Every structure is written in structure tokens, then in C-alpha cells.
């Protein structure tokens, strides 16, 4: 564990930082910069004060996601090029992600979708259960651009684990989430039912039939076993992705907090223990951060259910700028033993029409975001709620936004407020933000033109890589305070962590178009620092051993 500094221990002598990294709109990509010099005294002006004596939650790290769509795009590359991309994602010389997420069965980011691991109606014994769809590759006659017909979701995961196995820091914690049970287990007996045009809130993913509650739990247990037999140990699992539903737009299934509580207590929780899967972390909810507290109040207060639960998973789509840190604080204050993990966030609704949005009036132009760093560093993105008129949706929560800022700010603020791990959505998509079998185009950290094999590492990739390489599993968040003059308020965002070697890491995000001068105060020493416009800066400081 990290050394815990006491307040009296911070009267030490600091000279200079060990490392400074920068990713910026000006073109820096994890660039090494001149170290900052400390001197004794009390800083004034714009001050970032880091308190290594106030240690908070232990972190799991930063991650990304495996999807069939990502595997499909990578299968278009020849093996050496694909291997290079995979090493950039998972090796210690690349982003070195320490967490990942993967769907259980079909989701919107599948090539064709609408499948599960047992589509034989009424097969309550799961005699026809098979994960073949995750490993049987893609039809080269149907998809002639495919270069490796054997590459698929499971081989992608296995390659990532193989890359990690050769490193000192080898663990990859994988969280699995089903978008739906097999259709025959649900009341609608379908994958999803879209809403009618005159009522966008009339769609549904359906709910489990009462007689298949235990069968669905068995289905998830079979998945864990099948993947383990293929050398993939799943670290965590959620009962379902986005239980509040998606209006029947793609594969989904509904739970309320009360029905998920009963499902865990009576079915999934006991079956995880009985099947020797008690080490698999069970995470509840897996949906919008703003509603986490309501679910926690139902599930964590039921002692029988809570005994099976490790924590909750959350997503970011309820606002393009809010982090809902006040919700995290309340949940942690009430239920400090349960973790909070961000399991999905992406640049959604990519290229869809929106007033003053990302599209040229003539229609789709992939050049807006593909191989165009400027798109990612400026207010060019609109999300699903930007101009909707649906009941209950406040469009003020969904303004145009800068993709890099949304990622970095969300991660920094989340880690300041008890989130233990942060996972991105698809790591790779094509130049359109595809394939997605329902046209739900999204951005990805890496986008590949499958017609030319050109690989575009977006600025989001480099920001995630910088955070992942400097925020590692086992690090602990430490307290930070900002004392900012008016021009720096709502512009500078910061968090800090410390590792087992007493290496203190400070992340600073400048969202403005101007450089900002600030003082970094650590104990009784400070350094004068400048962070250039539109950039993420990481300062690493070797702390002395307390005592």
C-alpha cells in the first residue's frame, strides 16, 4: 500500500519534479517537458494544493472496452499492423490500460446484433449454450475487407491478455455486462421494441419472465465458466447494462432497483457463491450516474443482497458536462464500503444532425472528426440530448462540448469523488464511428479507415494513455484543493494520486484557450508552473519516506 503521510511528516525538502508530461492542442502527445523546481514557502495567486497526508480511495486504474465492432475493424488489418495497435493499447510502452469491459452477447456495437449464447426458445437447462459467436470470426465473402477471418471478440481479449502477461504490471481487470437476456426469457420475446414515431418513449427492452429469473442467473454463470475455459477470468459482472432502458433502440432489458435487488438476492448472488465464482465482483446498476443514489438506497440497505455486492457501475450520458460528483459524495458518505466504477462513456451521436452541430449542411463528412485533431480539442460535439424535446430531458444539461475536455474533466473530477476505476467504451471503430447495427455512430479513441488501413489515434487516445500510464492499480487518491483567481475558475481541473513507491502524481487540465500560471503547493514547498492552453499536464514528484 502507499505510504500514509501524517501532517507532521510533510515538513520535508523538495527540489524538483521527477517527470512532467503534456498532451495538448498544440500537438504534444505524452511529451516530456522541463521539470518544475520547488522552493520553501507558501504560494499565492492561483494555487493547487496537494495533501499527501490525506489519503482516500485505492484505485483500479483507467480502461477501455472490447466489442465485436472493435474486433471487426481490427480484423481488416494485417497481423503486424493489428499487433502494433493492440500493443499501443495494452503494452507498458503504450496506454497500458489496466481495466476493460466486454458485452455478454449482443449489443448495439455488433456487426449484425440480435443474438445471445442460447437462442433456442425454452431451453431452460441451457443445453444449447455456446460462446461460438465470440470466437468464430467473420465471413470474408460477406465482408471482403476482412484480412483475418479468425479474429473476433474473444481472440481480441486473448491477445490483450497475452500482451499483458509479458509485463511486470500484467493484470487486466475485465468487467462483463449483458445488454439483454436471450429474447425468449423476456416478456416481449424480442431483443427490443422501438418506440413509435409519435411517442419516443414508447419503446422497450422488456423484462425477465418470472420463470426465467434463475435461468438468466445460470446463463451469466455459464458465461463466466465458458470464458474461464478459454483462459479469460472475468473480474467483475453486472446483472445487465443500462437497466433503465434505452427506449427500445437496441438490445436491452429493464430492471427497477427493487427488481434487481430481488434478482441478486434470490438468484444471481447465491449462484455466484454456489458455482465457486464468489471472487467475481458483482456490480449493480450500470447506468446513469445521476440516479446512483436511489439504487444504492434500495440495494445497499438490504443486508442479504448487499452481502453479495462489491459496488456500483455508472455511465456518463445524462449530461455532456456534469460529473454529478455530489451524488458520488452522498453515496460514499452513506455506503463507504461499496466502490463506484465508471464503466462506459463515449462521444455518442457522432455526426448526426444537430443545430450548430458537427455536420456540414450538405450532410455527413467524416473529415469532421477523422484525422482531424481540431475536432477533438474544440466545442464540436453534440450528444443524444442536445436538441431533444422528450419529457424529462433538460437540454441545458447537453450543450455542445469539447471531446477531450469531457474525458479528462470527467476522469479527474470522478477520482476526486470516490470513483475507483474509469473505463471508456469501444477502443476502436472505423472512420464513421461504425459498425453499429442500429446506426448509433460513436467516436472511439482509435479510428481506422478500413478502406486504406490508416490508423488515426485521436487526441482522446493520448489523453487516456497519459492518465492510464500515470494512474496505476493500487495507487491511492489524495486530497487536492484549488484556490483559483476568477480567470482560472471553471478552467483548471486537478486530481492527485500516490503510489507504493511514494511517487506523487498530479494531473492538471486547462480547458481554456490561454496559458495559465499557477503555484503547485506540496507541504511547505511550492513550484511556479505554467500550463499551456488546451492541455493535460502530468507532474510526478518523488516524495521522501516519512519519518
State the DSSP string of 68-131: HHHHHHHTTS-HHHHHHHHHHHHSTTTT---EEEEEES--SSSSS----S--STT-TT-TT---
Neighbouring CB atoms inside 10 A of 189's CB total 13
| Prediction pTM value | 0.95
Domain boundary among 418, 448, 470: 470
Query: 186 with 46, same domain?
Result: no
Query: 408 with 525, same domain?
Result: no
Three cell numbers, residue 131: 460462446
Please tell me the total count of domains within the chain. 2
Residues 6+ apart with CB under 8 A from 179: 103, 104, 105, 106, 107, 108, 240, 241, 242, 250, 251, 252, 253
Domain boundary among 455, 470, 485: 470
Residues 6+ apart with CB under 8 A from 13: 40, 525, 544
Query: 339 with 365, same domain?
Result: yes
Among 104, 90, 25, 9, smallest CA distance to 544 is for 9
Whole-number pLDDT of residue 547:
57
Rounded Cα distance between 28 and 87, Å, is 21
Whole-number pLDDT of residue 233:
97
Strands 492-498 and 503-510, sheet pairing = antiparallel
Rounded Cα distance between 65 and 73, Å, is 14
**pLDDT per residue of the chain (547 residues) written in tens, 0 to 9:** 444 555 555 555 678 999 999 999 999 999 999 999 999 999 999 999 999 999 999 999 999 999 999 999 999 999 999 999 999 999 999 999 999 999 999 999 999 999 999 999 999 999 999 999 999 999 999 999 999 999 999 999 999 999 999 888 889 999 999 999 999 999 999 999 987 544 445 789 999 999 999 999 999 999 999 999 999 999 999 999 999 999 899 999 999 999 999 999 999 999 999 998 889 999 999 999 999 999 999 999 999 999 999 999 999 999 999 999 999 999 999 999 999 999 999 999 887 655 554 444 444 455 589 999 999 999 989 899 987 777 788 999 999 999 999 999 999 999 999 999 999 999 999 999 999 999 999 999 999 999 999 999 999 999 999 999 999 999 999 999 999 999 999 999 999 999 999 999 999 999 999 999 999 999 999 999 999 999 999 999 999 876 5
Rounded Cα distance between 373 and 369, Å, is 7
Domain boundary among 423, 439, 470: 470
- Residue 547 falls within a domain, yes or no? no
366-370 own/partner pairs: CB under 8 Å, 24+ apart:
366/431, 366/432, 369/433, 369/443, 369/447, 369/458, 370/431, 370/447, 370/449, 370/456
Question: Are residues 419 and 313 in contact, defined by beta-carbon separation less than 8 angstroms?
Answer: no
Residue reference for cell 489515434: 457
Query: 44 with 69, same domain?
Result: no
- Residue 2 falls within a domain, yes or no? no
Whole-number pLDDT of residue 217:
98
- Residue 40 falls within a domain, yes or no? yes
Rounded Cα distance between 61 and 422, Å, is 7
Which structural domain, as residue segments, surrounds residue 35? Answer: 7-58+476-542
Among 68, 96, 56, smallest CA distance to 475 is for 56
Query: 73 with 54, same domain?
Result: no
Amino acid at each position: 500500500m502507499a505510504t500514509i503521510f501524517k501532517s507532521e511528516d510533510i515538513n520535508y525538502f523538495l527540489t524538483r519534479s521527477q517527470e512532467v508530461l503534456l498532451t495538448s492542442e498544440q500537438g504534444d502527445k505524452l511529451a516530456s517537458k522541463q521539470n518544475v523546481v520547488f522552493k520553501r514557502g507558501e504560494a499565492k495567486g492561483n494555487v493547487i494544493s496537494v495533501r499527501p497526508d490525506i489519503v482516500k480511495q485505492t484505485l483500479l486504474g483507467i480502461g477501455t472496452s472490447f466489442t465485436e465492432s472493435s474486433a471487426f475493424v481490427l480484423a481488416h488489418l494485417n497481423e503486424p499492423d493489428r499487433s502494433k495497435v493492440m500493443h499501443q493499447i495494452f503494452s507498458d510502452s503504450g496506454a497500458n490500460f489496466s481495466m476493460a469491459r466486454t458485452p455478454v452477447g449482443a449489443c448495439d456495437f455488433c456487426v449484425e446484433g440480435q443474438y445471445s449464447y442460447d437462442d433456442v426458445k425454452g431451453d431452460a437447462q441451457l443445453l444449447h449454450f455456446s460462446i461460438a459467436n465470440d470466437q468464430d470470426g467473420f465471413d470474408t465473402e460477406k465482408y471482403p475487407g476482412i484480412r483475418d477471418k479468425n479474429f473476433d471478440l474473444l481472440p481480441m481479449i486473448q491477445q490483450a491478455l497475452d500482451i499483458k502477461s509479458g509485463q511486470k504490471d500484467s493484470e487486466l481487470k475485465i468487467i462483463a455486462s449483458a445488454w439483454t437476456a436471450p429474447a425468449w426469457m423476456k416478456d416481449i420475446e424480442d431483443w427490443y421494441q422501438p418506440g413509435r414515431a409519435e411517442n419516443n418513449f414508447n419503446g422497450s427492452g422488456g423484462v425477465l419472465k418470472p420463470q426465467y429469473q434463475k435461468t438468466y442467473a445460470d446463463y451469466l454463470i455459464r458465461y463466466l465458466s465458458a470464458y474461464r475455459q478459454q483462459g479469460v477470468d472475468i473480474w467483475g459482472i453486472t446483472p445487465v447494462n443500462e437497466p433503465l432502458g434505452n427506449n427500445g433502440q437496441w438490445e436491452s432489458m429493464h430492471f427497477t432497483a427493487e427488481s434487481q435487488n430481488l434478482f441478486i438476492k434470490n438468484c444471481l448472488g447465491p449462484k455466484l457463491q454456489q458455482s465457486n465464482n464468489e471472487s467475481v465482483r458483482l456490480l449493480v446498476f450500470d447506468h446513469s450516474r445521476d440516479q446512483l443514489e436511489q439504487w444504492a438506497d434500495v440495494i445497499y440497505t438490504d443486508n442479504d443482497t448487499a452481502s453479495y455486492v462489491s459496488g456500483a457501475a455508472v455511465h456518463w450520458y445524462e449530461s455532456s458536462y456534469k460529473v454529478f460528483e455530489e451524488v458520488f459524495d452522498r453515496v460514499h458518505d452513506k455506503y463507504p464500503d461499496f466502490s463506484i466504477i465508471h464503466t462506459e462513456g463515449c462521444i455518442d451521436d457522432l455526426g448526426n444532425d444537430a443545430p450548430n452541430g458537427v455536420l456540414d449542411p450538405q450532410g455527413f463528412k467524416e473529415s469532421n472528426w477523422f484525422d482531424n485533431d481540431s475536432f477533438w480539442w474544440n466545442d464540436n460535439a453534440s450528444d443524444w440530448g442536445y436538441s431533444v424535446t422528450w419529457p424529462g430531458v433538460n437540454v441545458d444539461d447537453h450543450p455542445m462540448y469539447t471531446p477531450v475536455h469531457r474525458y479528462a474533466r470527467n476522469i479527474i473530477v470522478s477520482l476526486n469523488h470516490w470513483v475507483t476505476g474509469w473505463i471508456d467504451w469501444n477502443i476502436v471503430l472505423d472512420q464513421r464511428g461504425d459498425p453499429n447495427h442500429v446506426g448509433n455512430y460513436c467516436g472511439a479513441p482509435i479510428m481506422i479507415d478500413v478502406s486504406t488501413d490508416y490508423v488515426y489515434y485521436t487526441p482522446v487516445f493520448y489523453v487516456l494513455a497519459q492518465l492510464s500510464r500515470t494512474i496505476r492499480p493500487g495507487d491511492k487518491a489524495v486530497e487536492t484543493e484549488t484556490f483559483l483567481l476568477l480567470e482560472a475558475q471553471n478552467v483548471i481541473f486537478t486530481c492527485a494520486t500516490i503510489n507504493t513507491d511514494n511517487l506523487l502524481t498530479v494531473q492538471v487540465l486547462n480547458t481554456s484557450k490561454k496559458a495559465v500560471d499557477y503555484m503547485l503547493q506540496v507541504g511547505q514547498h511550492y513550484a511556479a508552473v505554467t500550463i499551456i492552453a488546451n492541455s493535460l499536464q502530468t507532474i510526478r514528484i518523488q516524495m521522501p519516506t516519512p519519518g
